[in-house]
Structure 1
Amino acid sequence: MAITTKDIAKLANVSQSTVSRCLNDSSMISEKTKKRVLKIAQEHGFQFNAHARSLSANKTYTIGVILPKSLFDFEGEMHFRSWQNELIESLERMEFDVMVSFFENRFTKQNNIQRLITAKKVDGLIILEPSLDDETITILEETDIPFIFCKYLPSFYKTKDVDFVCVDQFKGGYIATDHLLKQGHKNIISISANHIGGEFDLRTEGFKASLRDHNLQYDKDMVFYGDTTFQSGYQVIKDNIKKLKNITAIFVQNDLMALGAISALKECGINVPGDMAVVGFDDIELCTFYKPYLTTVCQPTKEIAALTCKRLIEKLNSTDSDLKQKLEISPTLVMRESCGINL
């Protein structure tokens, strides 16, 4: 038989109304009494009615996570699966429910951010979508629901004060290139992508800065462009194989393109890492599925997810909505075989 608030009141030697206030975290009850009542409730497996709590506190205890539409593609799924999992895990540890959605309903084209805010389905939003239209920006600016950007900062907000947690993409491009240069490679190219969100532009800027710091000249012909897919990395190499005659290292700005590039290099009789060193970016699972294992820049998704969720919960509990935080987390280089590291 399920335990009731009346049973808990009897065990705790308090009134039933006191039990109710404890379960709803009322400021009218001392912390000592709350802890004692909650402990008894937990020990006896009391199932608190979360819906009743949400009505009384005007809270849903649900966080909306807005994923980018690129997740529908294979390369997007490979990249964002870990981001999604880490965010959900962090929120569940904080005892929040999670509602995962996309910026736009694929079938009705309805704006899901507007829907979640208008219907008051969530207490806060974590947004990983880099492209927002003017209507959505207006909705976010006018809402009382706290939101935070994770990984991407839409261009509209780059000059505005807004909460944001991301990876230092510039540093990632820098350390990847710096590693190759310190290994003695002087003739290096990079494979980038024209992609919404600006992260590839920052990686390219890091590439350029590292070259300058090693007293090497940057030329626009040193950067080639794919579309983030395995096939595009493969095709860049195939289409430009004659230009690689004196090249000894390639910084490829995402892992799928890097794996595609390595496949094409092998077909062209170029050994990796013997003839050509390759560094990727992201550290997706496939990096250790094929030989040689890929040296790559790791984005610390677990740390970023934890900080994003922590910051959002702080905003939920704060009355100072004007205080904003922008956090850039440093990436790290994971050493594997594609640069000559033997495992």
Structure 2
Amino acid sequence: MAITTKDIAKMANVSQSTVSRCLNDSPMISEKTKKKVLKIAEEHGFQFNANARSLSAKKTNTIGVILPKSLFISGEVHFRSWQNELIESLERMEFDVIVSFFENRFTKQNNIKRLIAAKKIDGLIILEPSLNDETIAILEKTDIPYIFCKYLPPFYKTREVDFVCVDQYKGGYIAADHLIKNGHKKIMCISANHIGGEFGLRTEGFKAALHDYSLPYHDKMLFYGDATFDSGYRVIKDNVDVLRDFTSIFAQNDLMALGAIKALRELDIYVPQDIAVVGFDDIELSTLYKPYLTTVQQPTKEIAALTCKRLIDKLNSSETMKQKLEISPTLVIRESCGISY
């Protein structure tokens, strides 16, 4: 009787899906386990035709990465690092990558719908924070595994769904906590009204830190930009008369923080001597101009690696359980806050 993968799994004391991954040389399995499984397969004359399996399964060995439709409007600098880290992780696993915006910029065609219908991909990584009902219905019906990255999916509270993202609430908290511990009780907060909820979560974390230190919060502490450098600049220039009420600024992304610093410099208000500034994201520009920016660093590399690993795990098994992972950010302390606690 011919030996099966089930038999090999029993002899190797591993799962049948692990045997399958070993036979397919999956990067998710350790070399030690692969050698053990392959040795058993060879000793018992197991015949495995990888090419035939690939053809029968109609695999493309290609992963789709969906960028937000708002990205080509706002041109958010930090998305380049997210995209690069995801592509690097997938290429290391020997997958090809198709990168698309959520919508075709000219025809407005839904690229998630197009890629699934055309059967061009084996899986999807989605960085779009706002999905319409049609797209959600398509995802729920497809057999193609998908996972959300960076943003909480819009329906995560009502549906079981895989995601790996940053704990934005905690990021807002640790930014405010750092300023308060350095003696700042009057903090200007510059947020943005962007779809996806990350700025709202950062604001809630900011408020929670104030509450924990018994410091008052009021709406006059909160200002809005649009996540661009120019909007951070404009918030400062348009509110010169209230700057004296604050000793520090928490700008909820680095571009707005850097724009604010430029405006302050033009007003002869010096950072950090006169006012401290904290940003969010830790983009490359944070260390290109003096003073270097203290900022909340999103663990992009870790999240990209976890996202890709999770998706490939889903491709290589029939597991249906969903994983919801929120990764903690960290504070990178630089010159814009002066002496740290």
The two structures have a TM-score, normalised by structure 1, of 0.84
State the 1:54 CA deviation. Answer: 3.8
Q: Does 1:211 align with 2:210?
A: yes
1:32 to 36, 39, 43: 39
Corresponding residue to 1:334 among 317, 332, 335:
332
Residue in 2 that maps onto 1:96 = 95
Q: Distance in 2 between matches of 1:147 and 1:198?
A: 21
- Give the distance between the partners of 1:60 and 1:277, measured in 2 at CA: 51
Whether 1:107 aligns to 2:106 is yes
Indicate conservation of the 8 Å contact 2:210/2:216, yes or no.
yes
Question: Which sections of structure 2, spanning at least 5 residues, go unmatched?
Answer: 1-21, 26-36, 44-48
Q: Secondary structure at the match of 1:245?
A: helix
1:53: how far off? 6.4
Number of the residue aligned with 1:295 = 294
Question: Quick check: 1:335–1:341 contact (8 Å CA) kept in 2?
Answer: no
Distance (whole Å) between structure 2 residues aligned to residue 23 and residue 335 of structure 1: 47
Q: Evaluate the alpha carbon distance shift between residue 152 and residue 24 of structure 1 in structure 2; reply closer, same or farther with a 3 A threshold.
A: closer
Please tell me whether the aligned partners of residues 233 and 257 of structure 1 are also in contact (alpha carbons under 8 angstroms).
Answer: yes
Instruction: Tell me how far 1:341 sits from its aligned partner.
Output: 4.5
- 8 A Cα contact 2:193 2:224, kept in partner: yes
What letter corresponds to residue 326 of structure 1 in structure 2?
Answer: K
Q: Deviations over 1:34-68 (max 9, x none)?
A: 789xxxxxxxxxxx998x76423321111111011
Structure 1: which 4+ aligned runs deviate by more than 3 Å? 22-25, 33-36
Q: Residue in 1 aligned with 2:71?
A: 71
Alpha-carbon distance in structure 1 between the residues aligned to 2:294 and 2:338: 9
**Cα gap change, 1:216/1:61 in structure 2, threshold over 3 Å: closer, same or farther?**
same
Deviation for aligned residue 1:316: 1.0
Within a 5 Å distance, the mapping from 1:158-169 to structure 2 comes to 158-169=157-168
Query: Which sits farther off after the overlay, 53-62 or 249-258?
Result: 53-62
- Looking at structure 1, the residues matched to 257 and 24 of structure 2 have their Cα atoms a distance apart, in angstroms, of 52
Q: Distance in 1 between matches of 2:339 and 2:291?
A: 10
Secondary structure at the residue paired with 2:245? coil
Take 2:64 and 2:212, find their aligned partners in 1: how far apart are those partners? 43
Aligned to 2:317: 318
**Cα distance in 1 between the residues matched to 2:290 and 2:170:** 27
Contact 1:54 1:61 in 2 (8 A): no
Does the aligned pair in 1 maintain the 2:153–2:163 contact within 8 Å?
Answer: no
Q: Report the AA paired with residue 181 of structure 2.
A: K
State the shift of 1:244 in Å.
1.1
Which letter maps to 1:294? Answer: L
What corresponds to 2:281 in structure 1?
282
Unaligned 5+ segments in structure 1 are: 1-21, 37-47
TM-fit CA distance, 1:75: 3.9
Q: Does the CA contact (< 8 Å) of 2:63 and 2:121 recur in 1?
A: yes
Instruction: Quote the Cα distance in structure 1 between the aligned partners of 2:84 and 2:164.
Output: 17
Is 1:181 aligned to 2:188, yes or no?
no
Structure 1 counterpart of 2:332, which letter? V
1:8 aligns with: none
Equivalent position amino acid for 2:218 in 1: D
SS in 2 for 1:156: coil
For residue 241 of structure 1, what is the aligned residue in structure 2?
240
- Equivalent residues in 2 for 1:224-239, closer than 5 Å: 224-239=223-238
In structure 2, what residue type is equivalent to 1:66?
Answer: I
**1:246 deviation in Å?**
2.7
Q: Report percent identity of matched pairs.
A: 76
Partner of 1:304: 303
Partners of 2:267 and 2:280 lie apart in 1 by 23
- Aligned Cα root-mean-square deviation (Å): 2.1
